[in-house]
Structure 1
Amino acid sequence: MRRLSRPAAIRVGDRVRSAGQVRAVLAVSARAVTLAEEEDSPREVPLAVLLGDESFEVLSSPVRMPLPPVSLLEALPEHAREKALWWEGHILEVLHGVDPNAGEDAGPRPEYDPARHSLTARERAKAAELTAAGYQVSVRIGNFRRRYQAEGLLGLADRRPVRKKPQFGTVDDSVVEAMRQAIKEGIDDSTRTGTYIIWRTGEILRENSETVGLPSQSTLYRLLAKLTYGKPVSATARNRRSRAHGAKTPFGQWTVFAPGEVVQIDSTPLDVLVRLDDGVVGKIELTGMIDVATRTVPAAVLRPTTKSVDASVLLARTLTPEVMRPGWVDALRMSRSVLPYRRLLDINERLEYAAAKPVIVPEMIVCDHGKVFISRNFKASCRFLEIDFQPTHKASPFQKGHVEKMLDSVGTLFAQFVAGYTGRSTDHRGRNLEKQPLWSLPELQELLDEWLVATWQNREHDGLRDPLHPGRSFTPNEKYAALIEACGYVPVALSAEDYIELLPSTWRAVNDYGIRIKRRTYDAPGLIRRQHSGVVEKKGLWEVHHDPHDISRIWVRNHHGEGEWIEAAWKHLCHTPVPFGELAWDHAAQGLPKGTEAEIAEAAAALLTRAHAGPAQAGAGKPKKRTRRERQVAARTKATPPIPTPAPVTEPNPAPEAVAEEEAPLAKVIPLGLFDPLADPWKRS
């Protein structure tokens, strides 16, 4: 089908070409056009037949011009726009006879009346008028009129200030290419200034035997600014590499419809000083995972140096429920959150005491090329769990941007509130941080776990929005609950045996006192003591699996049996015959009503306050006086922390808290009787 250039209109008096002949238009109606014949009487031609003729053409009617780019006027200077508007008023009076600035009832002035004067006469009249007013425009009126009819208001403007110029001015192309090469060489090098790039440009020209001379320093700096626009050479090395190796095509979009469909994992140093097991103050690394569909952080672990076994432990934690810890407020329970607790409880009874963080079962894990994640250990764990392992392209952090942003948010929303915060670089680091009350690694891990449940999972995320209501954003827990309804996702968590298999292993001898790992002694009645395990390659030692983030217990494989696991607890957890951890749990639950958003917000605020204060130090002041019942619950709860710290065997000097207790009135001593597990611990006799 041929492409027609339609005229603006067909008017009486126009001359048209039809059927190979030129004819005049005598009459025009909605359905037909009357054309004059040279010898015969006028002939009426249907409009559809006339326009469908291959040779049809209007000879005397101007073709409609395309709309001018009026928005380009905004790029012109103000004085150029004002002058164009001034000219428009005069040109419109020439074309139509009426000044546009005149009143509504104003008619054309005699010298500009189209019925009395031709267009040329009106142009002469306007030129005489403006010349009398002091403007030299005698031959420019016709030019302005034609430019206005072709380009509109933009044709009357002076476009010299925005006229397109050569991109690099008069600089020789060889100089431009040499500077581009110098910039490219410095992508993976340390950060240098523009002075080095200009010097290197001259060296490259000499190496290539170019005879062209370098322009002035100011010209070279302007050229450098143009070539490095948006990616300056003086930026940080990390930022420069990221931009240089970034995507060259439009960014794609993850298409995820269910929790766990795509999970990203990464590690980064955490800007917090901690006191390690040997008493040395040092920095640690944070390894975390994030679910792209819900922005849930299934697990995050802290280690002095991340190893491949830590990534496997992180994977195991992702696939198991987060258990409530003593001291957490009751509002953090899964049963009091927006998560579909009842439906999930029917699938996994372990969720009865779980915190308000969903269990995510990954289908695909996206990671970078760090040695931790491409190790044989981590790949074997992914194969065991039937998880697709998908590394990104090298030097492409944008391909796992969700976890990169999450790790950065942890530093902004959590780490800076913690005692011992160092800042992101040495320029932001304070003084005497080592002298502050610093958290131990297990204590800081527990604070991070509580913050993820209390704050992150209940914080609205800008990337979680309802497509039909973009103004509404969801929290990770709300998005998880919504996707459960939409896709019918069923999280099948790891069994206890599978979880233990993913933990790092070591080989130890079983002595009379039990097993010792990192100066902690673990014991259990079922251990087979002082016997050869039967594993000749390990010289009779026993296989022991342990969680580096939970030092309360270990698991020993029974090589003499069916390979079942024997759980051994840290000996300091076995000093009391009563389950005081549950006792403290119930005591805290009695003082809290049904969970609300206010309780969660209060718990998150209290967590940051506690993290900022650091652990209790000797001589920190007299503690707040508590009731006898609260002192009992607190003392018994300290005996069973989820991630305890080793306590000294003897204390030569009494602690300040003990002195405070002695100053308080002593209650009547009641001997501890036999423990009845069926009795109500709160019932008073």
Structure 2
Amino acid sequence: MGRMKRPGRVAVGDRVRFEGRIRGVLAVAAQAVTLTDGEEPYLVVPLLELFAAADFEVMTSPVRMPLPATSLLEAFPAREVDKALWWEGHILEVLHGLPPDAEPGTTVRPEYGPERSLTARQRAKAAELTAAGHKVSASTVAHRRRRYQERGVLGLADHRPVRRTAEFGEVDDAVVAAMRQAIKEAVDASTRTGTFILWRTGEILKETPDRQRAGLPSQRTLYRLLAKLTSGTHTTGSAVTRRSRAHGATTPHGELPVLAPGEVMQIDSTPLDVLVLLDNGVTGRVELTAMIDVATRTLTAAVLRPTTKAVDASVLLARTVTPELMRPGWSDALRMSRSVLPHRRLLALDERLAHAAARPVIVPEVIVCDHGKAFLSRNFVSSCRFLEIEVQPAHQGSPFEKGHIEKMLGSVATLFAQFLPAYTGRSVEHRGRHLERERVWSLLELQELLDEWIVAKWQNRKHDGLRDPVHPGRLFTPNEKYAALVEACGYVPVALSGDDYVELLPAEWRVVNEYGIRIKNRTYDSRALGPMRRQNSGVRAKRGLWEVHRDPYDVSRIWVRNHRGDNEWVPATWKHLNRAPVPFGDLAWDHVSHQLPRATEAEIADAVAALLTRAHDGPQTGQDPQPGKRDRRVAARTKAAGPLTPASVAGAQAEPEDEADESEESVAEVIPLGLFDPLEDPWKRS
């Protein structure tokens, strides 16, 4: 009886070699072990017989065929891959007795039979390869076998062609550390060139102890090192972007789930890259202040002013929570009734939406802003507190916390501003020549174009951030997302009443003269001001002046608080309103049938194209063609709101034949109607 080979341990789950086969251990008792036996349920073998077997061996790890790391092999040359696959076939024959490409039923060669030990099979493979012209030793085969069992086919490849190099080559670590410090010092400083960074690196090295001091490599090596260390940091570029990247979050960004319109909204300002004709007749740049809803990406309001003030933020808030009314000249495809928005449901809540444009009315719950004076002013904060809106300032130097509005403001330049005349570009080096010679829009006209662009383009543009979670390949427009969320969360906006809207407008104190009230070289008057003319308001703190509220972006009217009465608002209209375009002239749309189909994408695209063409051409200076009789009747009905251009009645229907001989005098008999009055209560209409 031969000498027994006692293993260190035999436990359930181990794999052992016994009688020329590899078997699994099912159970271990004091005198015997239970092994798998192929087709038989099991085989019970006494321990003495098992240990005395000539081929007994405890397999330290299961013999398996590793999957080739195909993705990593792609980095190797084709010749090395072929050589590794060649070695794999021979190693598998050593381990399992048959090569991987053996046909079913192939008999194992005796030198690789299960009765032979692993060492014997390795010696046989070395002899076979040497006889075939590949001089290989048994130790080489054993080394390849071990690498294969550890790393698969990747362990059989020669790694020299793809050997990794040091991250910074042979540059000393002290030089790398000094340059990192110089780059860190430049984060909050003014932007300098790479030459300064290299000089500062040398100065930092001089301050290190002698025993740790390293010599500077060549200038070309230093510039290559600088390029690696400053990649994506904007060290020699934009200071704003550099600080934003450096002070941004170093851990994975969290996600703020926003599931309802108005749950989180963002507000910000930026200069608009267009020259505008200001009220004083001088061309200059203006600032754009806008608010966006995170859940739907709806641009709820955007206003243009020479400078952003606290009152602008309050007016922006007022516009956000009030409907955007259709204007003369707008395409009928931009009406809310022809959009995907739930117009009928909202119309039942507020009849003022009958003439509304396709822009949702969203009441904010939280407004995220920066630390600008306009957004943290007493006026804006008080308005938000009045509407029960939480104001959440972003952290200092963290514009990514309001990235949605930052991205939107950048999109205005590429999608709208560059189509306008006198476009200045984003910097001086992008500015054209003789911009002052171009026909520039006035501030009020440009505001009108911007409002139309928001309804026509932005609200109907598919947004990459509005994807269906179940079907990520589908994109939504802001209007489509709003309609979907209304169905999902039951959101119902409660718009401001007329009094609330007027209360949010900026206030001024004026004298009511015999001719009315004069503001910004415009005179406003109405019959209701009769008892106030040349009278003292009774407000001693304001020396008897009257409180006047006005919308800086709508010059058509103002509101005067009657301090001598019940503090009700008395409207007054601009005297020369009939000589200028009207911001709110919704009555021009009454002659269009209300039973219109939903606007198609082609109609919206045509409206956007016409808008951009009109914006690029600049204000017209010539005489417009005369409108038709039907259009003149529509213009007469809205004469109290100001004259209409031919574009404002482009949607008018053709005149019936039985009215072809109608005289011009019939136009004068039409009773003119007034402007849209936000003070009018829609629930009290007859």
**Secondary structure of the residue that 1:526 maps to in structure 2?**
helix
Q: 2:545 aligned with 1:541, yes or no?
A: yes
Per mean C-alpha deviation after superposition, the further-off stretch among 222-231 and 340-349 is: 222-231
5 Å matches for 1:550-629?
A: 550-573=554-577, 584-587=588-591, 589=592, 593-597=596-600, 598-618=602-622, 627-629=628-630
Distance in 2 of aligned mates of 1:609 and 1:8: 80
Is the 2:12–2:26 contact (alpha carbons within 8 Å) kept by the matching residues of 1? no
Q: Deviations over 1:441-499 (max 9, x none)?
A: 11011111111112222222222222223232222222222222222212111111111
Indicate the residue corresponding to 1:235 in structure 2.
237
5 Å matches for 1:110-125?
A: 114=113, 120=119, 122-125=121-124
Deviation at 1:240, TM superposition (A): 1.8
Deviation at 1:189, TM superposition (A): 2.6
Deviation at 1:118, TM superposition (A): 6.1
Q: Deviations over 1:98-127 (max 9, x none)?
A: 55567778766x685537976555544544
Indicate the residue corresponding to 2:362 in structure 1.
360
Structure 1 residues 61 and 538 mapped into 2: Cα distance closer, same or farther (>3 Å)?
same
Q: 2:522 aligned with 1:523, yes or no?
A: no
Is the 2:32–2:44 contact (alpha carbons within 8 Å) kept by the matching residues of 1? no
Deviation at 1:505, TM superposition (A): 1.2
Distance in 2 of aligned mates of 1:438 and 1:226: 46
Structure 1 residues 219 and 106 mapped into 2: Cα distance closer, same or farther (>3 Å)?
farther
Indicate the residue corresponding to 1:60 in structure 2.
58
Is the 1:550–1:642 contact (alpha carbons within 8 Å) kept by the matching residues of 2? no
**Secondary structure of the residue that 1:437 maps to in structure 2?**
coil
5 Å matches for 1:433-448?
A: 433-448=435-450
Structure 1 residues 636 and 426 mapped into 2: Cα distance closer, same or farther (>3 Å)?
farther
Structure 1 residues 558 and 122 mapped into 2: Cα distance closer, same or farther (>3 Å)?
same
Indicate the residue corresponding to 1:323 in structure 2.
325
**Secondary structure of the residue that 1:204 maps to in structure 2?**
helix
Deviation at 1:328, TM superposition (A): 1.6
5 Å matches for 1:89-238?
A: 89-96=89-96, 98=98, 100=100, 114=113, 120=119, 122-128=121-127, 130-131=129-130, 135-138=134-137, 139-163=139-163, 166-210=166-210, 211-238=213-240
Deviation at 1:412, TM superposition (A): 1.6
Distance in 1 of aligned mates of 2:216 and 2:624: 74
Structure 1 residues 141 and 326 mapped into 2: Cα distance closer, same or farther (>3 Å)?
same
Deviation at 1:286, TM superposition (A): 0.8
Give the one of 397, 400, 414 matched to 1:398.
400
Q: 2:417 aligned with 1:415, yes or no?
A: yes
Distance in 1 of aligned mates of 2:435 and 2:239: 27
Is the 1:466–1:472 contact (alpha carbons within 8 Å) kept by the matching residues of 2? yes
Indicate the residue corresponding to 2:262 in structure 1.
260
Is the 1:552–1:642 contact (alpha carbons within 8 Å) kept by the matching residues of 2? no
**Secondary structure of the residue that 2:340 maps to in structure 1?**
coil
Distance in 1 of aligned mates of 2:610 and 2:508: 38
The letter of the residue matching 1:594 is P
**Secondary structure of the residue that 1:313 maps to in structure 2?**
helix
Structure 1 residues 416 and 544 mapped into 2: Cα distance closer, same or farther (>3 Å)?
same
Give the one of 34, 55, 66 matched to 2:44.
34
5 Å matches for 1:297-312?
A: 297-312=299-314
Is the 2:68–2:153 contact (alpha carbons within 8 Å) kept by the matching residues of 1? no
Deviation at 1:592, TM superposition (A): 9.9
The alignment covers a number of residue pairs equal to 629
Is the 2:15–2:58 contact (alpha carbons within 8 Å) kept by the matching residues of 1? no
Deviation at 1:337, TM superposition (A): 1.9
Structure 1 residues 21 and 496 mapped into 2: Cα distance closer, same or farther (>3 Å)?
same
Q: Deviations over 1:359-389 (max 9, x none)?
A: 1000110111122111222111111111011
Deviation at 1:12, TM superposition (A): 5.1
Q: 2:492 aligned with 1:490, yes or no?
A: yes
> Percent same amino acid at aligned positions?
63
Distance in 2 of aligned mates of 1:9 and 1:124: 22
The letter of the residue matching 2:328 is P
Distance in 2 of aligned mates of 1:604 and 1:15: 74
Per mean C-alpha deviation after superposition, the further-off stretch among 276-285 and 454-463 is: 454-463
Deviation at 1:400, TM superposition (A): 1.1
Indicate the residue corresponding to 1:347 in structure 2.
349
Distance in 1 of aligned mates of 2:511 and 2:451: 33
Is the 1:17–1:59 contact (alpha carbons within 8 Å) kept by the matching residues of 2? no
Is the 1:324–1:354 contact (alpha carbons within 8 Å) kept by the matching residues of 2? yes
**Secondary structure of the residue that 1:256 maps to in structure 2?**
coil
The letter of the residue matching 1:535 is V
The letter of the residue matching 1:607 is L
**Secondary structure of the residue that 2:303 maps to in structure 1?**
strand
Is the 2:633–2:667 contact (alpha carbons within 8 Å) kept by the matching residues of 1? no
Distance in 2 of aligned mates of 1:223 and 1:544: 64
Structure 1 residues 482 and 316 mapped into 2: Cα distance closer, same or farther (>3 Å)?
same
Deviation at 1:77, TM superposition (A): 3.7
Distance in 1 of aligned mates of 2:539 and 2:454: 42
Distance in 2 of aligned mates of 1:198 and 1:255: 45
Structure 1 residues 60 and 424 mapped into 2: Cα distance closer, same or farther (>3 Å)?
same
RMSD: 3.6
Per mean C-alpha deviation after superposition, the further-off stretch among 312-321 and 209-218 is: 209-218
Distance in 2 of aligned mates of 1:411 and 1:263: 21
Distance in 2 of aligned mates of 1:609 and 1:413: 13
Q: 2:432 aligned with 1:430, yes or no?
A: yes
Distance in 1 of aligned mates of 2:540 and 2:35: 114
- 5+ residue gaps, structure 2: 1-10, 646-661, 674-686
Is the 1:366–1:400 contact (alpha carbons within 8 Å) kept by the matching residues of 2? yes
Give TM-score, length-normalised by structure 1.
0.83
Deviation at 1:537, TM superposition (A): 2.4
Give TM-score, length-normalised by structure 2.
0.82
Deviation at 1:514, TM superposition (A): 0.9
The letter of the residue matching 2:14 is P
Distance in 2 of aligned mates of 1:223 and 1:36: 69
Structure 1 residues 437 and 101 mapped into 2: Cα distance closer, same or farther (>3 Å)?
same
